[in-house]
Structure 1
Amino acid sequence: MSGMRVGLLDPAIASRPAVDSFTRVSYLSAVAAGIDSFWVPDHLNSLFPRALWQPKYCGGAKLLPSADAYLEPWTMLGSLAARNRVGRLRLGVGVTDSGRRNPAVTAQGAATMNLLTRGRFILGIGSGEREGNEPYGVEWSKPVARFEEAMATIRALWDSKGELVNRDSPYFPLRNAIFDLPAYRGAWPPIWIAAHGPRMLRSVGRYADGYFPAFPHTPQEYAQRLDVVRSAASDAGRDPMSITPAVVLSIFTAPTRAEVDDVLESEIVRAGALLASDEFFARHGAQHPLGVGFAGAQDVLPQEWDEQTVLSHIKGIPTGVMREMGLVGTPAEVMDRAAQWRDCGVRYVVALNSTVLQPSLRKGLAAQRLFYSVVRKLKKL
């Protein structure tokens, strides 16, 4: 094995002094670190509770004034593609929403990006989250069914060879639709699907070039789900080993265990644990603050909470839950944890840099060197 491949997921949130200053620095840092790909998310607002996005809780709030000021991802990707002459990293959207964005538009955007990047684009896609749909009037009752129809629509358009496409669908019917953008050198961009539940995992096996989950789970769960993906691929007549086993992992590291423990006690980090499911909490003998059966990131609506509500939710969250939320610990501990993911099948880690999420802006910025040191080591796993 030649080693782990590593991407960087930038938050793509409006920053200072220019709105894309943080993203540009992240991109150049990724190039310098020898990272393989650069990703931006597709959000209208944040999964993080805005009530705690204050300098007294997080020093990074001085640089990113709003946790909800997400830049539109496809516009951002176009800007990155124009600048992508240094390093020529693969670019990806991690991940776009199959319900909020019409799949014909997604097919067009992905094909365009693949042409602009000369075949270096990855389409990350999933069923989305409630927070990016329901507040904006998008139906949220059957997100997986919509996702399946979106994937079938994208494939139908890409496979049409410019001929008229007619397809019945309860969500995205096509009536004499035309899709005539060319594939780059005969190849469409690879599709990486963010999947967690059984039905979504089967969709990965049927449609995807990459398995790309992001919500908190364990390496052992990843291995079990990867088996489901590969079984579904075999059932669909596809090569199960052709699907890239990838994962989004948040990385938080500090020089000493004491420094890691201090930050894990902070409100800003504890709030992130609300994105885990009740099932995830149950493994640590705890119940999710939002109740039994709460699904975590997919169902959270954090914009509705005031400061005291958030503080009441995060009170008493076990430290063990936060330690399992990603790659958390000293550099040595992070590498040990990453090796577990590798041993459970992961071959591509897309890292979300969480080292800035701490009360001290100075310490958060100082920890960036340590973060990129860890990223370089990941590539050697």
Structure 2
Amino acid sequence: MDPIVAARPTVDFLTKANYAAAAAARVDSFWVPDHLNSLFPRSLWNNPKYCGGAALLPRGDAYLEPWTMLGNIAARNRARLRLGIGVTDTGRRNPAVTAQAAATLHLLTRGRAILGIGSGEREGNEPYGVEWSKPVARFEEAMATIRALWNSKGELVNRDSSFFPLRNALFELPPYKGTWPQIWIAAHGPRMLRAAGRYADGFYPAFPHTPQEYAQRLEAVRTAASDAGRDPMSIKPALWLMTLAARNNDDLDEALESEVIRAAALNAPDHFYARHGAQHPLGIGFTGAQDILPQDMDEQTALSHVKVIPTEVVRDCLLCGTPEEIVDRAAQWRDCGVEYVVLANVGPLQRSLRKGAASMLPLMQALRRLRKL
């Protein structure tokens, strides 16, 4: 199994430090997120009482613009890592601009770009005046638009669409040695899974779910690919996981009681809670990351939510434990079809800055062992 490292939202030097750690661990690729703000309550993340990492990153919503950052990294990519965006949004980004950005990165990296893409989340659209309606229909049209432009061979493109009509549109950027960036789709629901089967080079879900659910969804993607006349086995089974490494079980238990770490579970859907006999703090049927609006949660509201989350739900949302435990849990995902994991380190979000920093060592140990799976 190929373990990969994804950057947390940081200022420039911390992102570069994450890249340096990824290169040192000899992983396959490095990813940055595409958000305007975080999926964690800022009232908790920005408070050193709850988040040790706030001493280094006092503004958790200070996300760098990802394509700009990837271009900067590409210029310094001596480790020749593949560079991915995990994932960009078809709501607030016009697909023609995304097609241009990804193709540019593919040229700059000599064929090492991966376009991670999904329908987006409410928090990155609605607060900024982007209509949050029919996100999957918009996604499907965006994918058709990107493929139409990449396949146009420099000819004018005309295409009817409810969202992205093309009228004598021109796309002259060339592929790199005949290849375009791989498209990895973050799909979860039935319609998105069918879209992944039609368009994806990689299946790349992120919202919390179980290995067994992954296997079922992968099968749905492959069935859709076969129905579309594609080779279902050509789609790379990948996965994004929030990861919390600890030196021992006592450190892990302490980290799992940290408010911001616990808030990660707010991004799980209500049916994930139901597996543990619990209900999502935001109500029955709440969908989790796709609809959460954490930026306006005040401190007491956020604390009231995280207080009632069962610790087992938090644990189940994360790839967490000692290096041995992380490898054992990753093996469960491997057995359900996952071949490629992207790990987002949430260790620095625990209360203790010292233990958050110290969590990097067991994470690096886990990375080395994951490569042997």
Q: Please state which band the TM-score falls in when normalised by the shorter chain.
A: over 0.9
User: Which residue type is aligned with residue 260 of structure 2?
Assistant: I
Is 2:8 the counterpart of 1:7?
no
1:248 match: secondary structure: strand
What is the deviation of 1:7? 1.6
Alignment of 1:79-228 (within 5 A): 79-84=72-77, 86-228=78-220
What is the deviation of 1:157? 0.4
What is the deviation of 1:12? 3.5
When the two chains are superposed, the root-mean-square deviation of aligned CA atoms in Å is 0.8
User: Which residue type is aligned with residue 8 of structure 1?
Assistant: V
Q: Residues 257-301 of structure 1, C-alpha deviation per residue, up to 9 Å, x if partnerless?
A: 122112112212111111111010000000000000100000000
Q: Please, what TM-score do these two structures have when normalized by structure 2?
A: 0.99
| Contact 2:88–2:120 (CA under 8 A) maintained in structure 1 | yes
Mapped partners of 2:359, 2:318: distance in 1:
17
2:359 match: secondary structure: helix
Percent of residue pairs identical: 71
Moved over 2 A (4+): none
Mapped partners of 1:268, 1:122: distance in 2:
30
What is the deviation of 1:204? 0.7
Q: Residues 14-58 of structure 1, C-alpha deviation per residue, up to 9 Å, x if partnerless?
A: 2xxxxx111111111111111000000000011110000211111
Structure 2 CA distance for partners of 1:149 and 1:224, relative to 1, 3 Å: same
Mapped partners of 2:250, 2:355: distance in 1:
14
Mapped partners of 1:171, 1:285: distance in 2:
41
Is 2:352 the counterpart of 1:357?
no
1:241 match: secondary structure: helix
What is the deviation of 1:256? 1.5
Q: Residues 66-85 of structure 1, C-alpha deviation per residue, up to 9 Å, x if partnerless?
A: 0100000000011001111x
| Contact 2:242–2:319 (CA under 8 A) maintained in structure 1 | yes
2:348 match: secondary structure: coil
What is the deviation of 1:326? 2.1
2:84 match: secondary structure: strand
Q: Which runs of 5+ in 1 are unaligned?
A: 15-19
Mapped partners of 1:315, 1:112: distance in 2:
45
Corresponding residue number in structure 1 for 2:250 = 258
Corresponding residue number in structure 1 for 2:367 = 375
Mapped partners of 2:87, 2:143: distance in 1:
14
User: Which residue type is aligned with residue 98 of structure 1?
Assistant: T
Mapped partners of 1:30, 1:237: distance in 2:
37
Corresponding residue number in structure 2 for 1:343 = 335
What is the deviation of 1:179? 0.4
Q: Which runs of 5+ in 2 are unaligned?
A: none
Question: What is the total number of aligned residue pairs between the two structures?
Answer: 372
Mapped partners of 1:188, 1:128: distance in 2:
22
Is 2:67 the counterpart of 1:67?
no
Corresponding residue number in structure 2 for 1:276 = 268
Q: Please, what TM-score do these two structures have when normalized by structure 1?
A: 0.97
Corresponding residue number in structure 2 for 1:17 = none
User: Which residue type is aligned with residue 63 of structure 2?
Assistant: Y
Mapped partners of 1:362, 1:68: distance in 2:
22
Mapped partners of 2:37, 2:74: distance in 1:
24
Mapped partners of 2:291, 2:174: distance in 1:
37
